[in-house]
Amino acid sequence: MKSIVIANWKMNPASWREAKALFAATKKAADKAPKVGVVVAPPSLYLRELASGYRGKRLRFASQSARAENGGAHTGDISLAQIKDAGAKAAIIGHAERRAAGETNEDTQKQVATAIKASLTPILCVGEHERSQSGEHFTFVAQQLKAGFAGVSPSALGRVMVAYEPVWAIGAVAPMEPRQMHEMAIFIRKTIVENFGAGGHKVHILYGGAIDAENAAAMLQEGDVDGLLVGRASTDAKEFSALLSTIQQA
Ligand code: PGA
């Protein structure tokens, strides 16, 4: 199976000119790595123009954040319907930085259900803030999963991707140990299957947090994940190209 890499540009780059250049480099790197399914999540302001100008088949687009409501009085926000209309095929939902800005498990539940209805692939982000010996992080992640999947019918389970991103590893120097990810991947799958049925075996599980060209291959090989959600390294054209090429060669 192809590995999935989601390029989460966050609030970068600062200008349309730089965004075009970064996209051109991303496109080139993806063309050289056919084993990797690349999804670009640019700032929504750049999404339509990048998607409509793209003639290739290697890249797909995702939103970084979008509301479930179809419209209404939500100053500054955008909707899943709008990002779909702009050319996105997937939607990052419940990223830790959105949760920190006030998004709740209930919001993610609505967004995942609405994304599926709109034929968008939901990428549900989950992850604890910290770890303790008592293992409370498992309970925390289970709650996020139970809420996020609550509006998904059994037949649609396989259309959801889960990105496990421990908050303590986002923006950090090093990612989580791949063997810890392996353990978490087993837990995530078990939680989905136990609560929502056997369709949970089809859910793709990704890891995110401090992934770069150096550590990407090990995480994919030893972490039991189908892909990676990449922040910083996706906005550095050289680093991202090196990252895709190590996965291609692994
Ligand atoms: P990072 O961000 O790769 O810069 O740690 C990951 C993310 O937040 O998706």
The pLDDT confidence band at residue 50, using thresholds 50, 70 and 90, is: very high
pLDDT value of position 223: 97
Burial of 56 (0-12, 13-18, 19+ CB in 10 A): exposed
Q: Is the pLDDT of residue 246 over 80?
A: yes
Long-range contacts of the stretch 18-24 (C-beta < 8 A, 24+): 19/43, 19/46, 19/50, 20/50, 21/237, 22/235, 22/237, 23/50
Which residues participate in catalysis according to the annotation?
95, 165
| The pLDDT value given to residue 133 | 87
Q: Would you place residue 132 in the very low, low, confident or very high pLDDT band (cuts 50, 70, 90)?
A: confident
> What are residue 124's phi and psi, to 5 degrees?
-85, 120
Q: Cα 117–85–75 angle (5° rounding)?
A: 90
What's the mean pLDDT when you consider all of the chain?
Answer: 97
> Residue 187: what pLDDT?
98
**What integer is the mean pLDDT of 133-159?**
96
* CA 45/CA 56 separation, integer angstroms: 21
Distance 128 CA to ligand 1 centre (A): 14
Give the largest Cα separation in the chain, rounded. Answer: 51
- Report how far residue 73's alpha carbon sits from residue 211's, in angstroms, rounded to the nearest whole number: 37
Q: Give the DSSP letter of residue 158.
A: G
| Residue of the CA atom closest to atom 7 of ligand 1 | 231
pLDDT of residue 175: 96
pLDDT digits (tens, 9 = 90+) for 65-85: 999 999 999 999 999 999 999
169-209 pLDDT, tens per residue? 999 999 999 999 999 999 999 999 999 999 999 999 999 99
List the residue whose alpha carbon is closest to atom 2 of ligand 1.
Answer: 231
Strands (E), 32-143: 36-41, 59-63, 90-93, 121-126
Percent of the chain with pLDDT over 90: 97
Decide whether any atom of ligand 1 lies within 6 Å of the 94 Cβ.
no
* Residue 1 scores a pLDDT above 90: no
3-state secondary structure of 112: helix
229: which DSSP letter?
E
Does the beta carbon of 212 sit less than 6 angstroms from any atom of ligand 1?
no
Q: How confident is the model at residue 162 (pLDDT cuts 50, 70, 90)?
A: very high
